[in-house]
Amino acid sequence: MKNTQLVKTIFINSDPDTVWQHLTDKDKLGEWFHPSANDLKANTDYQLLNDKGGKICWGRVTEYEVPKRLVYTFTHNHLKGVESIVVWELSSVHGGTKLVLTHSGFEAANTNTFDLLIDHDKGWDDHFSRLREKACTKP
């Protein structure tokens, strides 16, 4: 399976600047995804942590266009060190934010790509439900 991408689109009842903060601020990341050791910034490494402070996901921010586009490498133990790519694209739409996630690179893990897609698809759904709640600024 070549060039497999997981693409998800959600709408958040908030402006792109607020949603951007939830994607890059270390404390806000912890509210919906995983706590981070530091804010995500251009050309920097990051680590997402479990509740005991141990590293569970890590990578490097490769693109950083506030508040429109964020790209970083992404790996964890199940990917066995293979770096996948996460792309976030934000756009203002009807007073809210359209957020598109594209997650690719699973086939490089040399394991069952479809199983990785299923696991990450479910994981992103779980995280997105919390992101909608935490980033929402309008009733």
Domain ranges for the chain, please list them. Answer: 5-135
**Cα separation of 136 and 108, whole Å?**
35
Strand partners, 63: 71
Residues 6+ apart with CB under 8 A from 50: 34, 56
Place of tokens 């990450």: 120
Which pLDDT score is estimated for 137? 85
Looking up tokens 């951007």 gives 20
Contact indicator for 107, 83 with CB cutoff of 8 Å: no
Please tell me whether the overall predicted TM-score, pTM, comes out greater than 0.85 for this model. Answer: yes
Q: What is the pLDDT of residue 1?
A: 46
The gap from C-alpha 44 to its chain's centroid, in whole angstroms, comes to 15
Q: What is the b/e burial string over 60-88, where b = at least 16 CB atoms within 10 angstroms of the residue's CB?
A: ebeebeebeebbbbbbbeebeebbbbbbb
Q: What is the CA radius of gyration of the chain?
A: 14
Instruction: Output the CATH code of domain 5-135.
Output: 3.30.530.20
- For the stretch 74-90, pLDDT in tens is 999 888 778 999 999 99
Q: What is the pLDDT along the chain (139 residues), one digit of tens a residue?
A: 456 899 999 999 999 999 999 999 999 999 999 999 999 999 999 999 988 889 999 999 999 999 999 999 999 988 877 899 999 999 999 999 999 999 999 888 777 888 889 999 999 999 999 999 999 987 7
- Quick one: pLDDT at residue 122? 96
- Name the nearest CA neighbour of 131 among 24, 29, 17: 29
